[in-house]
Structure 1
């Protein structure tokens, strides 16, 4: 986790680059998810201080759909010159496991820049849903196996995998409804098209506070300071239950190391910006600012976890 004390050391560790070498024109960030969700929001927050640090505009280009694979394919086609980046979630790890005929291989098409944030997920139902608690939701599911529906914003992405984990441990079944992105999945549960699901914080927290959604639990080990009345999943009979979504920044493979170093330096500086930190705290998101090597190790760990879950659940390619 990024801390205020670690910032000077990280900044000094980055190679010194001439101010007029890179960048000397705007940088495009292909956001592989729709606007307003768990990937777009932190990326948008850091883009402004990154622009100031780099001395060039950092422009977001939302290309959502197909569990992030549309935006990922767009970024994979870009020149490896440091002027096109990719912001996405954990779907980049699992997409090749479940989506057929991808025009790119995430393990070879991209190189890590930095993980921006880590964030738990909220288990939510619509405000007038009969389930007032996690126990009540599970009771409803046990009484009608497979009849309740749960949403996700992408197959085998963070929200989907977290829901699968909970259902497996609870011994229940429900029908999966996969949406194009977070905004669509939230609209579905609010409209009564689905019963429950895990949502990213930028989508869910404002609606919970407004009384339009009911939060039944959070996937973090401790309660969120921004929603202290929402219990963790772990404290409701599932000890050790913990999952988090990650928003990460990538570059096309072959991007010069000095560009990667400069971009990482900009991410670290942006995540130390007081306005960014304040907004992330309100949302319940944790700044990370990992090095490329640390990010690569974290993604490899998630890849092993996801592969095991896919085998256990018998999920097939689409």
Structure 2
């Protein structure tokens, strides 16, 4: 489980050789969300460094499993990459009948960024603090519905864990992506939900929603500091290739991705999106995924999270 955003490692060496094969960058979520935005920000620089085209392709559904399945079945020749998020560490415990095994179907390339989630409500709900929201939900149980970007997504797990700790039962409404989730919130289908900084920021500026807390500790408005010590569920975005891809290809792609995410011109945009660069290469990502899967498996078991939950 994420405790805090990772720091960007020392700049990786420049890509030493070109890759002529076109690369399909499969984004496991719909357009408009954090994963999609990041993919389209780094694709041009990766293409330049690899000496080929890098074409983003959205293949969303099943909490990222649809896009993951596309890359899991791709030829491991460097022509397909998967841009995925926390579902890599969650879906193995929740999804059954998949045609691939998350643990063995992919070769880690690199972690790209880590990011917190914001707990948000509509501004017209009339609550300004987490304590106020929980009090309102206890008084008016009919309001207790929340949205997420899909069953088993971090936005689902974070809200389920928080409500269970607060002793509140609520209806979970999964959406196909972050943009749809926010639309449902503004429409009044749900009262609350965790979302990304990228999606929340413009609506916060316009006064349409309010943020009641941040999912990672160490900041002034953290949920951890509002009566829920130890609460820490963040998200992340990583790059993976089909298992069997050569170490040479993986190395070049990891170096290109690290360079792309480390562009000085990109830093203000990443900060605006709430993303902390964390590109440290394939070995670091392999260790990170092992730790995340242990943590998420424990959380799902202890909180009783189910596909119908």
Q: Same fold (TM over 0.5)?
A: yes
RMSD in angstroms over aligned alpha carbons?
A: 1.9
Number of the residue aligned with 1:227: none
Deviation at 1:144, TM superposition (A): 4.0
Number of the residue aligned with 2:227: 237
Match of 1:62 among 58, 63, 66: 58
| Higher deviation after alignment, 157-166 or 279-288 | 157-166
Number of the residue aligned with 1:284: 274
Number of the residue aligned with 1:188: 184
Ranges in structure 2 where 5+ consecutive residues have no aligned partner? 1-5
Q: Distance in 1 between matches of 2:144 and 2:121?
A: 12
Number of the residue aligned with 1:258: 248
Number of the residue aligned with 1:80: 76
Number of the residue aligned with 2:161: 165
Alignment of 1:215 with 2:217, yes or no, is no
Asked if the contact 1:43–1:116 (Cα under 8 Å) also holds between the matched residues in 2, the reply is: no
Alignment of 1:203 with 2:199, yes or no, is yes
Q: Distance in 2 between matches of 1:31 and 1:137?
A: 34
TM-score, normalised by the number of residues in structure 1: 0.90
* CA deviation map 1:258-303 (0-9, x unaligned): 0000011011111220122121012221000022111111111111
Number of the residue aligned with 2:3: none
Deviation at 1:145, TM superposition (A): 4.6
Number of the residue aligned with 2:286: 296
Describe how 1:1-318 pairs up with structure 2 within 5 A.
Answer: 1-3=6-8, 6-7=10-11, 10-11=12-13, 17-19=16-18, 23-145=19-141, 147-223=143-219, 231-317=221-307
Asked if the contact 2:28–2:64 (Cα under 8 Å) also holds between the matched residues in 1, the reply is: yes
Asked if the contact 2:128–2:212 (Cα under 8 Å) also holds between the matched residues in 1, the reply is: yes
Task: For residue 250 of structure 2, give the secondary structure of its aligned residue in structure 1.
Answer: helix
Deviation at 1:127, TM superposition (A): 2.0
How many correspondences in the alignment?
A: 303
Asked if the contact 1:67–1:157 (Cα under 8 Å) also holds between the matched residues in 2, the reply is: yes
Asked if the contact 1:86–1:250 (Cα under 8 Å) also holds between the matched residues in 2, the reply is: yes
Ranges in structure 1 where 5+ consecutive residues have no aligned partner? 224-229
- Large movers: runs of 4+ above 6 Å: none
Deviation at 1:158, TM superposition (A): 1.3
Task: For residue 108 of structure 2, give the secondary structure of its aligned residue in structure 1.
Answer: strand
Q: Distance in 2 between matches of 1:171 and 1:296?
A: 36
Asked if the contact 2:161–2:303 (Cα under 8 Å) also holds between the matched residues in 1, the reply is: no
* CA deviation map 1:88-128 (0-9, x unaligned): 11112222322221111111111110111100001001121
Q: Distance in 2 between matches of 1:62 and 1:96?
A: 21
Q: Distance in 2 between matches of 1:267 and 1:18?
A: 14
Deviation at 1:239, TM superposition (A): 3.0
Asked if the contact 1:146–1:175 (Cα under 8 Å) also holds between the matched residues in 2, the reply is: no
Deviation at 1:317, TM superposition (A): 4.7
Q: Distance in 2 between matches of 1:275 and 1:57?
A: 21
